[in-house]
Each structure stands twice: as structure tokens, then as C-alpha cells.
Amino acid sequence: MDKKSDDLTIGNVEDILALTPLQKNMLYSFLLDESANKYYEQWRYKIKGDIILHHIIQAWQYVINNNEMLRCIIRWRGFRKPIQMILKEKDVHIDVHNLKKVDSHVVQYEADKIALKEWEQKVDLQKNPFRITLTLLSEQEWEMIITSHHMILDGWSNANLLRELFSYYDAICSEKAITLSKKTPFKAYIKQQQSQHKTQNTIDYWTNMFRDYPQQSKFVKEYGLSKKIESSIEVLHISEDNTNAIHTFCKLHNITMSVLWYAAWAILMHKYYHQSDVVFGVTLSGRNMDLKGIQEMVGLFIRTLPFRLCIKPSTEIMHILKDTNRLTMDMEAHKDVELTDLMHIFPYAMKSIMNTIIVIQNYPIGKLLHNKQRHIQLYSSFYEIDSDITVGIKAFGTCTDIEIAYNQDVFQDDFMQQLLRDYYSIMMQLVHAKYIERLTTDNIRIHHKKTIKREKTSNTKQVFDNLDFKF
């Protein structure tokens, strides 16, 4: 649990930083309704392999010492502007639950109860936005739960933390000397971000892209924009063979995995709602700026920008892929703009566009997940969204998961389950097509049936892992 006493003393403050524009936006959204629990995240890992408990705790202390954002607290009360304080020192506090003696038939049930309790007891932005829990299931299996607020960490950072943690752990077990690497401070990122000047070309690019965009898409007109978020999650597992087929297709056609997933979603929306103008938000890593060591840094670097693609009836799939690829490269060339800037220019359009967000999570941690010492599985992840649909593509290692978090106040569960299957089906139709050059949107098959808007929901979260729908 969170430490009862406050680590904040005058002598324990290393630095005081301004918030980034994205952090400000998150804090503002959070403070509008603190009970909504927006941007809380829980990553739950199941790990097979030996564990020496005091060594893993010691390794976590090294990780905290080496990553300032794990020693960060956010303050706004009593300040003219909200700030983030970096503490000089922060002791690791890990809750440990030992279920080794629990009957094997109920041990997973008990572990699920622990994870749910962790989720319900939110981290405190002002005292401890980052928390760790260990659950020992047996001599060779355990769970590690990381609960945090998105304001201090992004997904890439989680991968960096895992890599560092087990590097330190292995060194401790081998009695090797540990030297903390000198990381670029988050302050350097903030300064570089503040010094970036949006060129007139960049402003013109985004202005021209959405000058003629209506205030609401067909998707939003049908389902509306909800004032409250009741999150639920559906997950579909893609087998290793089909994951390989996706990679092979992308390599063959010289496109990134992101391009293929964006195009498939655009086709899905076109088929569902007969839209010729498809829009959604896409999240970029934000780590491609010229800043030394940014790939290894821990913090919030992501950037979410709008994506617009036009699809006419009977459009060739290759044409859609080429357009998506071109637009992705154009967006990358004009990425030095904040979503808050676009919200000021097109307030109504941006609200409609950001109703759906796609996040590609392909962090380079494949070797870490599977090695001789241990096997690490991302067992589940929970997070409270700030959009009605967030699509996460988790491409770690040899398999892929499609994860759709959605607002139960807007969508029925069975509708989202079918949408998820259709999204997967479209992807498989593309990568397994014998003659992709002849394929058009008319040839793409879906099983969509109209589903009315949900009238009353509860805030339950369901995760269906390890589903492999064969095509």
C-alpha cells in the first residue's frame, strides 16, 4: 500500500519541474472528476522461474534510484501552476502476498482477489504515483503487479523498467558489482520540448487536414459522446503463426505494422458505417526527437495525434495501404504539435476524432520475456480510459494481442466482442490474401449486426485472454 508518511521534506527535493502539455491535460481531466479514476494503470505480470525475494526487492530499489520519475510526485494545491517534484531518495515499498500454501485449485482465484484489491486502492498522485505488489504462487511461479498513474509512465517506460529490474536482479544473484547508468534527466526532455517551434508548414498541414471536417463523424452521430466513462476491456489473442504472417506481409509490402493496423481499422469503420471519411487518434512513442538516451528514459513521452483517411466504395486495398503509409509518414514529418494546440483550432472536431484512439505497443522486450532464467507473461492490464474506445495492439515477443478498452456507458459488450472479431478477421483477410492486388473493400467480409446503445451498465472489467480465432 501507499506509504503513510510523506517522503516530501525540504532536504529530500532533488528538482522541481513544470508539467508537459500532455501531463497538464491529463491532470486537468483527472481533476474534473477525481472519482472517475482516469489514467490509472495496472500491469500484471506472471513470471515462471526461481525468485529470491530479498534480491528482487533490492533490485527494485536500484530501479527506483536510477529512474527519477519513480521518485516523482505531482502537486497542485497551493501552487500557481501544477508542478512535479523529483525526490532525492525514495525507499521501495513492496506488498508481498505468499500463496504457496494455498490449495492449487484456488490459488489463482486468491491472486485475482489481490490484483482486484490493488486496482481498487488507487495510487496517490501527490504522495506515491507508483506501487509494486508481489504474489508468490508456488516455488516456481509468481506475479508482479505494477500500479501507477499514466502521468509519470508510458508503456515504453514499463518495458525499460522490466529490463533494468531483471538486469539488476541477475547481477545481485551473481554477486556482481552494480553501477547505475547515468540517464538523461526528464528536465532535458521538457526543455527540448519547450524549445521546439511549430513551423508555419506544420500549422498549415494540420489546418488544411481538418478545415472541412464536420463536427461529428457518423460513428459519433450514431453512438454519441458520453459524459462519463465506465470502462471494460476485451482481448483477442493472435497466434504465433498469424503474428508471423503479419510481419511477413509488412516486410513484403515495405510498410510498418502500424500502417497495417491503421488501415485495417479504417476499413472496419468503412464497412460498419459506410464511412468514406474515417478519423481516429493514433498514439506515437514521442521518442524520436534528437535527445541523447531518450530510448532508455522513463517517463511520459507519448504524443497522440489525429489521423484521417478517405475510403470510397470499391477502393483497392493496396491503394488504402499506400495512402495510409503516406499519411503516416506525413504525420511523422509534422509531429511537432501538441494535441492541445489542435483542440484550440478545431475544438469540436478534435473531440469527435479523439473518441477513438489506436495505440501500437511493440516495445523491444522479446528476449527479456523468454530466456533460460525465466518466462514472463503480461497476464493482464487494466486502465481507465478518457475516450470511448482505445484500441491497443500489444506486439510483444512471438504473439500479438488486440485489446479494446471501451466505455460501457455507450457500447454493449456483445457489440464490442463482435467488433473485435471483425477487426481481427479483416487483418487476417489482408495478410492471407492470395492476390492482394485484386482485393477491394467490397471483397472484405464482416459479421457486423446493428446493436443499440447500452442504456444501463455496471463498471465491471472482463479480460478474455488467450483466445485464438482461427481464420
DSSP code string of 201-267: HHHHHHHHHHTT--SS-HHHHHH---SS--EEEEEEEEPHHHHHHHHHHHHHTT--HHHHHHHHHHH
Rounded-to-10 torsion of CA 109, 113, 114, 119? 140
Q: Give CA–CA dist 243/260, Å, rounded.
A: 12
pLDDT at 348 over 80: no
Q: Give CA–CA dist 42/158, Å, rounded.
A: 11
Residue 11 — left, alpha, or beta (φ > 0 → left; ψ -120 to 50 → alpha)? alpha
pLDDT at 435 over 70: yes
pLDDT at 336 over 50: yes
Q: Give CA–CA dist 70/64, Å, rounded.
A: 6
- CB under 8 Å to 312, separation ≥6 — which residues? 276
Give the pLDDT score at 293.
Answer: 95
273's enclosing H/E stretch is: helix 257-273
Neighbours of 248 (CB within 10 A): 11
Query: Which tops the pLDDT comparison, 59 or 353?
Result: 59
Q: Give CA–CA dist 295/281, Å, rounded.
A: 23
Task: Over range 273-280, report the average pLDDT.
Answer: 89
Beta bridge partners of 232: 406
Query: Which tops the pLDDT comparison, 448 or 284?
Result: 284
Q: Pairing state of beta strands 94-98 and 375-383?
A: unpaired
Give the pLDDT score at 466.
Answer: 34
pLDDT at 447 over 90: no
Confidence bin at 219 (pLDDT 50/70/90): low
Residue spans of the domains in the chain: they are: 10-182, 197-370+383-443
Nearest to 57 by CA among 95, 3, 90: 95
- The 3-state DSSP class for residue 198 equals coil
- The 3-state DSSP class for residue 376 equals strand
Confidence bin at 89 (pLDDT 50/70/90): very high
Q: Give CA–CA dist 145/1, Å, rounded.
A: 12
Q: Give CA–CA dist 2/144, Å, rounded.
A: 16
Give the pLDDT score at 220.
Answer: 52
pLDDT in tens, 278-309: 999 999 988 988 899 999 999 999 988 999 99
Average pLDDT, the chain: 86
C-alpha distances (whole Å) from 416 to each of 357, 407, 453 are 15, 10, 11
Task: Over range 100-112, report the average pLDDT.
Answer: 95
pLDDT at 398 over 90: no
- CB under 8 Å to 114, separation ≥6 — which residues? 97, 133, 135, 145
Give the pLDDT score at 147.
Answer: 95
pLDDT at 323 over 60: yes
Q: Give CA–CA dist 201/198, Å, rounded.
A: 8
Q: What is the distance, to the nearest Å, from the Cα of residue 387 to the centroid of all Cα atoms in its chain?
A: 13
pLDDT at 258 over 90: yes
pLDDT at 78 over 50: yes
0.75 exceeded by the pTM?
yes
pLDDT at 195 over 90: no
Residues found in the chain: 471
Give the pLDDT score at 218.
Answer: 56
Q: Do domains 10-182 and 197-370+383-443 have the same CATH topology?
A: yes
Q: Determine contact, residues 285/156, Cβ cutoff 8 Å.
A: yes
pLDDT in tens, 17-50: 999 999 998 998 888 877 777 889 999 999 999 8
Give the pLDDT score at 96.
Answer: 97
pLDDT at 464 over 50: no
Task: Over range 335-343, report the average pLDDT.
Answer: 81
Q: Give CA–CA dist 361/180, Å, rounded.
A: 27
| String of DSSP letters for 458-470 | --------S----
Q: Give CA–CA dist 38/259, Å, rounded.
A: 28
Give the pLDDT score at 367.
Answer: 62
Q: Give CA–CA dist 89/3, Å, rounded.
A: 14
pLDDT at 227 over 60: no
Question: Hey, which CATH number is domain 10-182, 3.40.630.30, 3.20.20.70, 3.30.1490.70, 3.30.559.10?
Answer: 3.30.559.10
Q: What is the CATH number of domain 197-370+383-443?
A: 3.30.559.30
Residue 343 backbone phi and psi in degrees, to 5 = -65, -35
E-state strands within 321-455? 356-361, 375-383, 389-394, 400-407
pLDDT at 179 over 70: yes
Share of the chain above pLDDT 90, in %: 60
Give the pLDDT score at 1.
Answer: 44
Give the pLDDT score at 366.
Answer: 61
Task: Over range 306-335, report the average pLDDT.
Answer: 94
Query: Which tops the pLDDT comparison, 346 or 279?
Result: 279
Burial of residue 399 (CB within 10 Å: 0-12, 13-18, 19+) is: middle
pLDDT at 454 over 60: no
Residue 322 backbone phi and psi in degrees, to 5 = -65, -40
Share of the chain above pLDDT 70, in %: 87
Print burial letters for 44-64: b (CB count within 10 Å at least 16), e (below 16): bbbbeeebeeebbbebbebbb
Strands in 277-284's sheet, in edge-to-edge order, are 231-238, 400-407, 389-394, 356-361, 277-284, 303-310
Confidence bin at 325 (pLDDT 50/70/90): very high
Task: Over range 398-414, report the average pLDDT.
Answer: 90
